Amino acid sequence: MGALNGQVVLVTGASRGIGLAIAQRAWREGASVVLTSRKESNLDEALATFDDRARVRAVAAHVGRRADAERVVSSALESFGRLDVLVNNAGTNPHFGPLVDIDDARMQKTYDVNQASIVTHTAAAWHQWMKEHGGVVLNMASIGGLGPEPGIGWYNTTKAAVIYLTKQFAFELAPAVRVNAIAPGLVRTELARALWSTREAEIAARIPLRRLGEPSDVASVALSLMSDETSWMTGQTIVVDGGTTTQASGGVS
């Protein structure tokens, strides 16, 4: 019997990286999982990583659109009859550079995916299922949301908003729904590749645990926050960063 046996978990941005690792961990712990991502081809690759697809569904959707948020929640309910856990994992960072140089299109896209999607997906899950039946929401923040760094200021701003939204939703949706967040440090994912691929050894040397994070490191903490092991915990953001934020300067840049 796994920690999530019989439950249904919906994960956004689940075709690779942290999102896929969380979905796989939930599945191994007995949950049925619904993966969402924008590209069907990426979802097909993600599905291939599951040995048995009887408890897995994939729904192509644009995370930044409210109508798609409502549709993927409806799809989860149609497929499995319930929705116990929503993982708001999708993220993007199309701009690298000073905030004063960001254009409107990149600013809006980052806001839509990283911040607004938290609201739309949580609202859809609440109205369609969790208001009456309860559940868990897990948001993906970042240690970047805890303080400024060069180059990724707008991304970090949206992640700071995720930390606040986690507290606000925890306050508003209690006691039916628990809402928590994870703030990872630098994890070896495609989204973060530009930050680590050319200087991994240099960055790792500045992290107390001397390595970058792996998606599985985040998924292990996610499992605890999704399960009843943390049933008296809500509104919190857990840092998973190998000790990065113990440094006086923080960050990884």
> What single DSSP character describes residue 222?
H
The yes-or-no answer on residue 164 being catalytic is: no
The whole-angstrom separation of Cα 30 and Cα 9 is 10
Candidate list 27, 50, 155, 196, residue with the active-site label: 155
Two structure tokens written together for 26: 């939930």
Which helix (DSSP H) or strand (DSSP E) does residue 195 occupy? helix 193-196
As a whole number of Å, the CA-based R_g of the chain is: 17
- Is the Cβ–Cβ distance between 83 and 128 less than 8 Å? yes
Two structure tokens written together for 108: 């809006």
Residue among 52, 51, 74, 49 nearest 61 (CA): 74
Percentages (nearest 5) of helix, strand, coil residues in the chain? 50, 15, 35
Distances in Å between the alpha carbon of 135 and those of 49, 56, 123, 175, 197? 27, 19, 13, 10, 38
Three-state secondary-structure class, residue 37:
strand
Q: Could you tell me which residues come within 8 angstroms of residue 44 by beta carbon, excluding any fewer than 6 positions away?
A: 58
Q: Could you tell me which residues come within 8 angstroms of residue 249 by beta carbon, excluding any fewer than 6 positions away?
A: none
**Active site members:** 155
